[in-house]
Amino acid sequence: MLDAHCHFWSLDRGDYGWLAGEGGPLAPIRRDYLPADYPGAARVIAVQAAPTLAETDWLLAQAASDIRIAGVVGWVDLADEGAADALCSRAKDPAFLGIRPMLQDIAATDWLLTAPRRDALLALAALGLCFDALVAPHHLPVLAQFANANPSVPIVIDHAAKPQDIADPQWQTGMRMLSADPRVFCKLSGLLTELPQSALVDPMPGLRQTFDLLLEWFGPDRLIWGSDWPVLTLAADYDRWLALTQDLLQPLPQATQDGILGGNAARFYGVKA
């Protein structure tokens, strides 16, 4: 197995703005989560949780000291004049696999089309780095344009673009459009935390509907499993999400299950499962 989406953070580092404050729905995860705390047996892809180079470097340091971390998806400000150099510098570390702009937190929906520097995008492609798209349904048309304009950049949609309603035509149209590009993958991460609280008592019907659509659109070779731990724990623990995933995959051939649970991610990111 390869868990293609998990997070580690140390709050004292001070750059996790989305975790700031007290109380509220994020209170249960407002503490440190380090590699030693990870509850699974899989190797992992550690994904950025702060929009800073410092956090990316911290994650790379964690990868250097823990063999379970197969790689890091970091952060670089593509709009900064030093972005290309920042990418080149970090790409010297084989654990640096790609970047994830926090698009869901950027007010301008079209930021991805208007802000990134061309030299940064060229460096992204030339270095063979991957692009994790942290998007909501309204970003999908923009992401499709970005994909068309950057044909050499591998793209994976995080959390299936966080659908609040899978009947939403914006989500369905956008995901169908992107799935037509064989370079675009989709992560089966974050699906539990996007379900309404009332659906968590019996999440399988909702998960099955979403999974079946994604399987139809992307096929079995471009779906990637991730835990989204520890954000996952706002809805369920790691073992619960893994068991639900295994139930979803059970009707599929074993080779297909193995691909979704690790092989597809290893192929996308260019790492060993």
CATH number of 2-269: 3.20.20.140
Please write the tens of the pLDDT for every residue from 33-54: 999 999 999 999 999 999 999 9
Q: What is the pLDDT of residues 58-107, one digit of tens each?
A: 999 999 999 999 999 999 999 999 999 999 999 999 999 999 999 999 99
Tens digits of residue pLDDT in 98-151: 999 999 999 999 999 999 999 999 999 999 999 999 999 999 999 999 999 999
Mean model confidence pLDDT for the chain: 97
pLDDT of residue 197: 87
CA–CA gap between residue 19 and residue 40 (Å, rounded): 23
Asked if the model's pLDDT at residue 273 lies above 80, the reply is no
> Which range, of 109-118, 169-178, 193-202, 228-237, averages the lowest pLDDT?
193-202
Residue 230: asked if its preceding bond is cis (omega within 30°), the reply is yes
What DSSP string runs through 140-187? Answer: HHHHHHHHHH-TTS-EEEGGGG--S-TT-HHHHHHHHHHHTSTTEEEE
**Continuous segment of H or E residues that includes residue 66:** none
Indicate if the pLDDT at residue 192 is higher than 90. yes
Q: Please count the CA atoms within 13 angstroms of the CA of 101 that sit on its side-chain side.
A: 27
